Structure 1
Amino acid sequence: MSMKRPVATVLAAALCLLTAACGSSPDDKASDSTTEAAASNSGYPVTLDNCGEKQTFEKAPSRVVVMNGASVAEVSTLLALGLQDKIVSNQQSYGMSEVAGRAAAIKSLPTGNVKVNEAYDIPREAMLGLRPDLALSVTTYGFDRKNGFATREQLKQVGANNYVSPQGCDDDPSKMTVADSYRLLRDMGKIFNVSDRAEKLIAASEKNIAAVSEKVKGVKPPKVMVLFSNMSMGSNDFSSVFAHGIVNDILAKAGASNAFGDAAKTTFADLSKEKVAATDVDALVVIGYNDPNPAAYAKKLLEEFPQWPAAKNNTYVTLSDSMYLGPSNDLAVEKIANMLHPDAL
């Protein structure tokens, strides 16, 4: 996703992709339980049950297509596992990352010279023309015929497996937790026969998070506002504010709570300026999505709402890919905890 594209438009597409309103396939039921077939000495065949469909891998995929879906979880997971050479087309990018070198590594990946559709994603003919043996999608939306995408059955007919990321089967990221990031890592580890790498990454993340959580145990959790910078996805002034999802799990592990956790039942809340002004916000977490200066947006908010404790104490942090599904949630936990509880850490 190019930095030059209208960011608000992209995030509007993201919200669409992550809600059932975009027309997910009702026949795709989420079981997502992972099982391995009797493995040969090479580790194959491997079978995953993904969104109610069994995907059997006789060998490691070598032509992987990563659909956009306004995510970087899938491409970042492949990079973390050292699988970048398997990617023939990647459409994901946040333009920044908490992990040194990751943004540049993503930018250098091949795109397959795909002409994307209005949702900045890969239409059916372009997908089939890439000759993938594995297509990764954030939700079932990416395999929906009526949205102009190649279906799972069409991919199967050309010999391509497919995979929908955790919580994507029901198109409901409001239920997402850090455990889903680990599940994505484990599934990719099994598919590519690099489970040892996946388990090492998971163990390191769990250890880092546990150490932080132990240090902030028992503290009064400050109320934190989490939102994308310079985004408009609804009718109100603040429509990119997180109410539920993985951000709440990250906040809890960092000794914090979501100031707007009761403002909506969905992942995002669509809030008026009056509602935001009337809420005590102790700190800001601003997520930069192809925004070159999310800190400027954070400072603008603090100036706009001087009554917030966050404004009085200038308490904010800017994050990007570590704050959502992906292999680096422990970095978000650590950075938020350092902002809120520096004496404890």
Structure 2
Amino acid sequence: MSMNRPAAAALTAALCLLTAACGSSSGDEVGDRSTEAAGSTSGYPVTLDNCGRKLTFEKAPSRVVVMNGASVAEVSTLLALGLEDRIVANQQGYGRSEVPGRAEAVKKLPTGGIKLNGAGDIPREAMIGLRPDLTLSVTSYGFEQKNGFATREQLEQVGADSYISPQGCDDDPSRMTVADSYQLLRDMGKIFHVGDRAEKLIAESEKNIAAVTEKTRTGKAPKVMVLFSSPSGDIDFSYVFAKGIVNDILAKAGGTNAFEDTAKTLFADVSKEKAAATDVDAVVVIGAGDTDPAAYAKKLLKEFPQWPAAKTNTYVTLSDSMYLGPSNDLAVKRIAEVLHPDAA
């Protein structure tokens, strides 16, 4: 997941927001997991545009560094494509996932032994010392000199390419959709010459989502609150999702965001009065760190018994599938099952 920087910093510190992934969205391996193709120069050079920069690769990168960025997307995508042996340092992790084996797989990745900076990410000197040939950042923030990071120009000087994920060019994920997850897959597939794997993942996801939306597109769209579980267990509406990829996921699951109009940014700081006065038909609680999202959801419904969601006990707990990454179809399916049980 990507988010605006103040929110990312706060959630990284308070909620330990981290995630990763391996395998396809259904947990199956995609094609041959060897990276023989990635180590070959056949099919190169390849070129793509990334945030106004033309990136040209003469061969597949072999020393990839994945910045934290309060993101869950980049390492998920690499692992889904079978490129784990290309990663020399990964700062993304989570500890839970909708995909079986995902959390365990990310723990096996090298971290580079880096001492992170105050923003919880890789400082300039440490980044250069890793000798990357490709650095991935969810937004442009990860390459800003004023924040102590290596710039894209500085990385280029030491022979490293840099890549910013879709919708990250202006550090604003509020416009993000599931299509951006597919674009990230396609870009990584092109860079590493494993485009067939990327297209297979995308086709599978599109098929899974289409099967859901075919069953849920008719009738009223339930209003859904999407938020993080609080580490303290106390009800906290500081980070209720208003925009971003979650809205696209909800729409594909046959729902709508109950708080979409409360903010123009990714998150809304919703008052308890506003929450109490809003008809919430269902709650999606995203597990973060060591929190108990199910317990949090039950407490939330008890706190607001007037909600339709409370009267029907309608909630679902999720983790990495709600973020930019290769497993959005799992979130769509899980949410649809609670919003439209008759259509599941």
Q: TM-score, normalised by structure 1?
A: 0.87
CA contact (8 A) 2:12 2:70 kept: no
User: Amino acid of the residue matched to residue 304 of structure 1?
Assistant: E
Structure 1 partner of 2:23? none
Give the CA RMSD over aligned residues.
Answer: 2.0
Q: Structure 1 residue 289: deviation in Å?
A: 2.0
What CA deviation, in whole Å up to 9, does each residue of 1:24-75 have, x standing for no partner? xxxxxxxxxxxxxxxx981110111101111111101010000001111000
Instruction: Tell me the secondary structure at the aligned position of residue 47 of structure 2.
Output: strand
Give matches, 1:116-265, under 5 Å: 116-230=116-230, 237-265=236-264
CA contact (8 A) 2:41 2:60 kept: no
Give matches, 1:1-345, under 5 Å: 10-11=10-11, 42-230=42-230, 237-345=236-344
Taking structure 1 as reference, are residues 280 and 253 closer, same or farther at Cα in structure 2, changes over 3 Å only? same
What CA deviation, in whole Å up to 9, does each residue of 1:78-98 have, x standing for no partner? 000000010000000122111
CA contact (8 A) 1:284 1:310 kept: yes
Gaps of at least 5 residues in structure 1 are 1-6, 16-39
Taking the aligned partners of 1:61 and 1:9, their CA distance within structure 2 comes to 29
Q: Structure 1 residue 242: deviation in Å?
A: 0.5
Q: Structure 1 residue 13: deviation in Å?
A: 6.8
Taking the aligned partners of 2:175 and 2:8, their CA distance within structure 1 comes to 24
Instruction: Tell me the secondary structure at the aligned position of residue 193 of structure 2.
Output: coil
User: Amino acid of the residue matched to residue 280 of structure 1?
Assistant: D
What CA deviation, in whole Å up to 9, does each residue of 1:94-114 have, x standing for no partner? 221110001111111100000
Instruction: Tell me the secondary structure at the aligned position of residue 317 of structure 1.
Output: strand
Q: Structure 1 residue 344: deviation in Å?
A: 0.9
CA contact (8 A) 2:231 2:291 kept: no
Taking the aligned partners of 1:8 and 1:147, their CA distance within structure 2 comes to 14
Taking the aligned partners of 2:116 and 2:212, their CA distance within structure 1 comes to 41
Runs of 4+ residues deviating >2 angstroms:
7-10, 12-15
Taking the aligned partners of 2:43 and 2:272, their CA distance within structure 1 comes to 55
Taking structure 1 as reference, are residues 217 and 8 closer, same or farther at Cα in structure 2, changes over 3 Å only? closer
Taking the aligned partners of 2:230 and 2:65, their CA distance within structure 1 comes to 29
Gaps of at least 5 residues in structure 2 are 1-6, 16-39
Taking the aligned partners of 1:55 and 1:47, their CA distance within structure 2 comes to 5
Instruction: Tell me the secondary structure at the aligned position of residue 162 of structure 1.
Output: strand
Taking the aligned partners of 2:178 and 2:131, their CA distance within structure 1 comes to 33
Taking the aligned partners of 1:122 and 1:214, their CA distance within structure 2 comes to 44
CA contact (8 A) 1:237 1:272 kept: no
Instruction: Tell me the secondary structure at the aligned position of residue 273 of structure 2.
Output: helix
Taking the aligned partners of 1:51 and 1:169, their CA distance within structure 2 comes to 5
Taking structure 1 as reference, are residues 136 and 123 closer, same or farther at Cα in structure 2, changes over 3 Å only? same
Taking the aligned partners of 2:213 and 2:171, their CA distance within structure 1 comes to 29
Once the two structures are aligned, what percentage of the paired residues are identical? 79
Taking the aligned partners of 1:174 and 1:69, their CA distance within structure 2 comes to 15
What CA deviation, in whole Å up to 9, does each residue of 1:210-239 have, x standing for no partner? 01000112121100000111179xxx9411
Taking structure 1 as reference, are residues 58 and 14 closer, same or farther at Cα in structure 2, changes over 3 Å only? farther
